[in-house]
Amino acid sequence: MNSDSSGAADRIAALEEELARLRESEKMYRMAAELSGRLVWSADEKGALRVMREPFSSVTGLGADEALGEGWLDIVHPGDRARVSAAWRASIESGEPYDVEFRARSGGGYRMMRSRAVPVCADGRVVGWSGTTQDVEEESAAELARREA
């Protein structure tokens, strides 16, 4: 084997090793996301949803494919939709983290949810967004009760 072949074989072996590490990392990430009870999602640099992880469909009743792009806004209560959309657009335009509470369709009714997202950057520019959505109904009800008391 000449040195060119040996170098190529070493690079291939290193790439295969890196791929195995990435697969293991993704597996750990998925398990952590499932255990957190949060809906995990990602969006492209323009804010269009590209991946919705389970249990999104079972919680919202909206198919994962239907949620892609801006389809996810269909789960947002009509009274909150403009505010939620405007907050998302502001984050996309500014590159600042997204954090908003809103009523979302869940189990045949609406529940308070909190969505958070952070920009994913490469070479100093936003290349996507990584986010979660969490049911905060109980926390919101408790806060309202504290305020009323």
List the chain domain ranges: 1-36, 39-148
Span 35-49, pLDDT tens digits: 555 678 889 999 988
Span 70-113, pLDDT tens digits: 878 888 999 999 999 999 999 999 999 999 999 988 878 898 98
Q: How far apart are CA 96 and CA 116, in angstroms?
A: 11
Mean pLDDT throughout 49-68?
67
Mean pLDDT throughout 13-41?
65
Q: How far apart are CA 142 and CA 136, in angstroms?
A: 10
Closest CA to 51 of 30, 76, 78, 23: 30
What class, spelled out in words, does domain 39-148 have in CATH? alpha beta
Handedness of CA 81, 137, 113, 74 (dihedral sign): negative
Span 104-132, pLDDT tens digits: 888 788 989 899 999 999 999 999 999 88
Q: How far apart are CA 140 and CA 135, in angstroms?
A: 10
Q: Are 102 and 80 in contact (CB under 8 A)?
A: yes
Q: Which residues pair with 114 in a beta bridge?
A: 101, 134
Answer whether residue 26 shows pLDDT above 70.
no
